[in-house]
Amino acid sequence: MSTTFSLYLERKSTLHRLHPLTKMALTLFCLVTGVIAPGEWGAFVVFLVLIMPLAAWARVLRRFLSTVAKAVLPFAISLFLVQGFFWPEGTPILQLGPVSLKQEGLSFAIRSSGRILVIVGSFLLLTFTTRPDDLMQALRERGVPRNITYIMLTTIQIVPRFQAKANTILDAQRSRGLETEGGFGQRVRALLPLIQPLLLGSIVDIEERAIALEVRAFGREGERTSLGELHDSQNQVVLRWLLLLATIAVVVLRFWLF
């Protein structure tokens, strides 16, 4: 399978060579640890201490941080403005005309932004280091139904597919004289000619993929063969179980000690 419609980055790193299920267990551990981390800044600490070093180990840190920032910053800014200034009956720490920045709202915004950061970072780390077809094959070999694996694969590919299609449409409109550079208003007006072709193209793409699946006997029962072969080892099996046990231990300790 081509990696054109995925966020996968080809690198020669140990993390890339791990079995997809091992990376899924690692992602689950990072995700759970960050989400249930205590305090306002607990999730940020998990991101800095655990997720960022893994991205550096996989040699995708620069692209990883850039993508995380683009995905998380809009949510963080919205949380800060909405929760910080419109938190009901909070403790004001800054007055700006008729509204005030509330301490409780700010704390909630920081905590929620950290959790979003960990969630996005964990899944991006998985998608940057795992080929979609390898992940699909690994799940299928463990008995996961094909329909579920296909849904997961489509979910991973939906953003890259939309980006590629949008760029193609944008280039076509530019070749016809559409002005896409300038002020904010000009950029907004330039988006309108892109929406309809993008939506219609996406519908056509769904139909074409459905036809391709039927041609390849997607719904056929029975054993299947694959051109690719995933290499697993006993050490990785042990590592996966250790990661799952560590995840359970983190949950137990979180609710027992805090």
Question: Domain limits at 63?
Answer: 14-130+231-257
Same domain, 208 and 251: no
**Helices and strands (H, E) in the chain, number of each type:** 10, 2
Same domain, 205 and 77: no
Same domain, 160 and 245: no
So what's the pLDDT on residue 216? 60
| Reported pTM | 0.77
Residue 187 has pLDDT above 50, yes or no: yes
Separation of alpha carbons 80 and 68, rounded Å: 18
Q: Report CA dihedral (242, 247, 251, 254) to the nearest 10 degrees.
A: 90
Rounded to whole angstroms, what are the CA distances from 243 to 26, 206, 240? 6, 37, 5
Task: Quote the percentage of the chain above a pLDDT of 90.
Answer: 36
On whether residue 112 sits in a domain, the answer given is: yes
Same domain, 71 and 193: no
Same domain, 121 and 26: yes
99: Cβ contacts below 8 Å, ≥ 6 apart? 85, 86
Q: Between 163 and 39, name the one with better pLDDT.
A: 39
On whether residue 8 sits in a domain, the answer given is: no
Same domain, 31 and 67: yes
pLDDT tens-digit profile of 210-223?
A: 666 666 666 666 66
- DSSP label at 36? T
Number of domain units in the chain: 2
Separation of alpha carbons 201 and 173, rounded Å: 14
Residue 189 has pLDDT above 70, yes or no: no
pLDDT tens-digit profile of 112-154?
A: 999 999 999 999 999 899 988 888 888 888 877 777 777 767 6
- Two structure tokens written together for 50: 């655990």
On whether residue 118 sits in a domain, the answer given is: yes
On whether residue 3 sits in a domain, the answer given is: no
DSSP letters of 3-22? STTS-------HHHHS-HHH
Same domain, 126 and 235: yes
Same domain, 51 and 155: no
2 pLDDT band, cuts 50/70/90, is: very low
Residue 1 has pLDDT above 60, yes or no: no
On whether residue 221 sits in a domain, the answer given is: no
Same domain, 26 and 116: yes
Same domain, 240 and 117: yes
On whether residue 7 sits in a domain, the answer given is: no
Same domain, 22 and 114: yes
Tell me which residue of 34, 116, 31, 43 sits closest to 74, measured CA to CA: 116
Same domain, 37 and 92: yes
pLDDT tens-digit profile of 29-74?
A: 999 999 999 888 999 999 999 999 999 999 999 999 999 998 899 8
On whether residue 139 sits in a domain, the answer given is: no
